[in-house]
Amino acid sequence: MSQQVRTRPEGSGRALSEAYDTALLDLDGVVYAGGEAIAHAVDSLGAARAGGMHLAYVTNNALRTPDAVAAHLTELGIPAQAGDVITSAQAVARLIAEQVPAGARVLVVGGEGLRVAVRERGLVPVESADDDPVAVVQGYGGPELPWGRFAEACYAIARGVPWFASNTDLTIPSARGIAPGNGAAVAVVRIATGAEPQVAGKPLPPMHRETILRTGAQRPLVVGDRLDTDIEGAFNGGVDSLLVLTGVTDGPQLLAAPPQHRPTYVDADLRGMLTGQPEVVEAGVGFRCGGWTATAGDGRLELDGEGEALDGLRALCAAAWTAAGEGVCELDGGKALARLAL
Ligand SMILES: [Mg+2]
């Protein structure tokens, strides 16, 4: 697919759930937050599935097994099976298996999800640098991971054993706030060794490849809340994406997105999968969507009209991304966004 610079969100005359065969859904900030389902997620996913769309769940979190994630989704009212869940643990296990002999020992610094994924590829998880591992793999281990496991990783890496990481997300959201994620744990080992790991997770190609291999998707739509993982991963894989505003991305971040972070579509929440998407059209020197017209003015973005807030945001995206071209929009969108009260 083309990787021309995107300068506005696209329209779709058909519901996205009909225009694409498979939704590759991020979990945190898209389907659930803090363990609870996000508003409209259960009904929207149920309707998309009833209409024939295949739903797959794609997560950088390597701690939980696909079985555990599927059980959690099912409990929330979103029926899922382990085979519908793709994790960065699976992607990194495949990456390792391609580079080491079958049955080789792998030093695992992480949780159950990573151990299960390593075993699934015919490799043997071990816990000590003295167990003669041929690879070190690091994934999010949760609060129970002992500090001494980082030391084991460092000892093995210093002996020349290749180092892999499931993902490098620096933080992980919890019910009580922002906690250090696997990227922070990887940084600990990087500081101590000076080495660099091979990384599998979003937005990198090994994760996208794992997802396509496991789902068999012909025309996938990535659905996510983060620009630098979900949307960039879709961009790198050459597939379309839907950004939902139920997670970490806000209006200013979206308007300032560089080309690889610009989604194909933008909507408020997962109800956006069930509808078409309005066109953003050129209108004089600006861009119109629904009842709104956005223009790039003197140091800032201007918005005129009235109507659906999301249409105003789509028009603003077109004005900002067109002004930015291959760069990042530096025009002030604060006043215009305030009118939309997103
Ligand atoms: Mg997310």
Burial of 103 (0-12, 13-18, 19+ CB in 10 A): exposed
Do residue 112 and residue 178 come from a single domain? yes
For residue 237, being part of any structural domain is answered with: yes
* 241 and 292 inside one domain: no
In DSSP terms, 179 is beta-bridged to 172
Q: Is 78 domain-assigned?
A: no
pTM listed for this prediction: 0.95
Least confident range of 122-126, 163-167, 191-195, 296-300: 296-300
> CATH code at 190?
3.40.50.1000
Q: Measured in angstroms, how far is the CA atom of residue 165 from the centroid of ligand 1?
A: 19
Task: Answer yes or no: do 113 and 41 share one domain.
Answer: no
pLDDT, mean of residues 302-306 = 97
Instruction: Say if CB 245 and CB 268 are below 8 A apart.
Output: yes
- Decide which of 257, 274, 291 is a domain's last residue: 274
105 domain-assigned = yes
- Distance in Å, CA 304 to ligand 1 centroid: 32
- Is position 132 annotated as part of the catalytic site? no
Residue that is last in its domain, among 171, 197, 223: 197
Distance between Cα 132 and ligand 1 center (Å): 36
pLDDT for 225-261, tens place per residue? 999 999 999 999 999 999 999 999 999 999 999 999 9
Q: Residue 178: inside a domain, yes or no?
A: yes
Tell me how far the alpha carbon of residue 94 lies from the centroid of ligand 1, in angstroms.
23
Shared domain check, 266 and 249: yes
Q: Is 164 found in the same domain as 123?
A: yes
CA of 28 to the centre of ligand 1 (A): 4
Whether the CB-CB separation of 38 and 298 falls below 8 Å is answered with no
The Cβ of residue 170 has, within 10 Å, a number of other Cβ atoms equal to 13
How many CA atoms are closer than 13 Å to the CA of 217, on its beta-carbon side?
28
Contact by Cβ (8 Å): 336, 303: yes
Can you tell me the distance from the alpha carbon of 251 to that of 255, in angstroms, rounded to the nearest whole number?
Answer: 6
What total number of domains does the chain contain? 3
> Is 262 found in the same domain as 217?
yes
Residues 6+ apart with CB under 8 A from 165: 92, 137, 138, 139, 182, 186, 197, 198, 199, 200, 201
Question: What six digits make up the tokens of 102?
Answer: 């079958």
Residues 285 and 262 in one domain: no
Inter-residue long-range contacts of 239-243, CB under 8 Å, 24+ positions, other chains counted: 239/1, 239/24, 239/208, 240/1, 240/10, 240/20, 240/264, 240/265, 241/265, 242/16, 242/266, 242/267, 242/272, 242/273, 243/267
- Residue 115 within any structural domain of the chain: yes
Q: What is the pLDDT of residue 74?
A: 98
- 3 confidence band (pLDDT: 50, 70, 90): low
- Phi and psi dihedrals of 219, rounded to 5? -135, 80
- Of the residues 197, 223, 254, the one at which a domain ends: 197
* pLDDT 10s digits, 255-289: 999 999 999 999 999 999 999 999 999 999 999 99
Averaged pLDDT for residues 125-141: 98
- pLDDT for 2 beyond 70: no
Q: How far apart are CA 265 and CA 254, in angstroms?
A: 11
Asked if 224 and 265 sit in the same domain, the reply is yes
Quick one: 126 and 38 in the same domain?
no
Give the Cα separation of 94 and 115 in Å (integer): 13
Mean pLDDT, the chain, whole residue set: 96
Q: Which of 21, 26, 43, 230 is catalytic?
A: 26
Instruction: Give yes or no: residues 193 and 119 share one domain.
Output: yes
Cβ-contact 210, 91 below 8 angstroms: yes
- 172 and 114 co-located in one domain: yes
Predicted confidence (pLDDT) per residue in 25-81, tens digit: 999 999 999 889 999 999 999 999 999 999 999 999 999 999 999 999 999 999 999
**Residue 79 belongs to some domain of the structure:** no
Domain span including residue 265: 16-60+204-274
| Amino acid at position 259, single letter | P
**Are residue 193 and residue 253 in the same domain, yes or no?**
no
**269 labelled catalytic:** no
Does residue 10 lie in a domain region?
no
Let me know if residue 82 belongs to a domain.
Answer: no
Cα 215 to middle of ligand 1, angstroms? 20
- Overall average pLDDT of the 3-17 stretch: 94
Rounded mean pLDDT, 8-30? 97
Determine the average pLDDT of the residues in 205-214. 96
What's the average model confidence in pLDDT over 211-234? 97
Q: Indicate which residue of 28, 169, 267, 311 is catalytic.
A: 28
Hey, what amino acid is at 154? Answer: C
